[in-house]
Chain A
């Protein structure tokens, strides 16, 4: 149980384009999902908390207009990186909360050329 999927697992896009990443809880409903960013050999950096049916809460320093989060259902949250730039290249990981535990997706590697 408690499986979280992400799609795509890897994406390459050109600078200036937008990319959407999906996060799904497959066998449970999650009112709260989280989006993290991780650079190589660095720890997880929380970007935002996504609550179903309401606006996401962004961490300090994270541009809400650049990283659009939509949590339209209890099993799906999406992160859209708008007008992507090479510095946005990173590993994006979502997690879904069930009770007090967080279960993570496998991550999405974004490369912006």
Chain B
């Protein structure tokens, strides 16, 4: 079993919809959870990070962590065409950080 699993998509949703992106993990040592956004031919950009179970909100973005289920999510409200990108989850323990393979998201105008 891979340490981090992420559906590569592509995921296509209409503009204005709520988007749900998810990752599962197997290593209970992961303590820190991050979401990155990567536009085509650009480096990934850190969107959100959290280290505890529960929700963290930043504007239209909400990161959710459920450590008991080893499951993290990123919700995007009122999705815009400019949100079209690849979203990578990442998790870290003391000595390493592991990235998911990324989910390609298309917001349809």
Q: Is the CB of B88 within 8 A of A104?
A: no
B92 at interface (Cβ–Cβ under 8 A)?
yes
Question: Which interface residue of A42, A93, A101, A109 has the most chain B CB atoms within 10 A?
Answer: A101
List CB contacts (< 8 Å) of A64-100 with chain B: 91, 93, 95, 100
Q: Is the CB of A91 within 8 A of B32?
A: no
CA distance A6 to B73 in the complex (A): 30
A79 CB to nearest chain B CB (Å): 14
A44 at interface (Cβ–Cβ under 8 A)?
yes
Total B residues in contact with A, Cβ cutoff 8 Å: 20
Contacts of B46 in A (CB 8 A): 2, 101-104
CA distance A44 to B105 in the complex (A): 17
Contact with A along B81-99 (1 / 0, CB 8 A): 0000000101010000101
CA distance A53 to B28 in the complex (A): 32
Query: Nearest chain-B residue to A5 (Cβ)?
Result: B43
Total A residues in contact with B, Cβ cutoff 8 Å: 19
B95 CB to nearest chain A CB (Å): 10
Q: Is the CB of A101 within 8 A of B100?
A: no
Contact with B along A32-52 (1 / 0, CB 8 A): 000000000111100000000
Given that A43-B99, A43-B101 are contacting pairs, would A105 and B43 also be in contact in the complex, using a CB cutoff of 8 Å? yes
B residues engaging A (CB < 8 A)? 32, 34, 36, 41-46, 49, 51, 88, 90, 92, 97, 99-102, 104
A residues engaging B (CB < 8 A)? 2, 4, 6, 41-44, 91, 93, 95, 100-107, 109
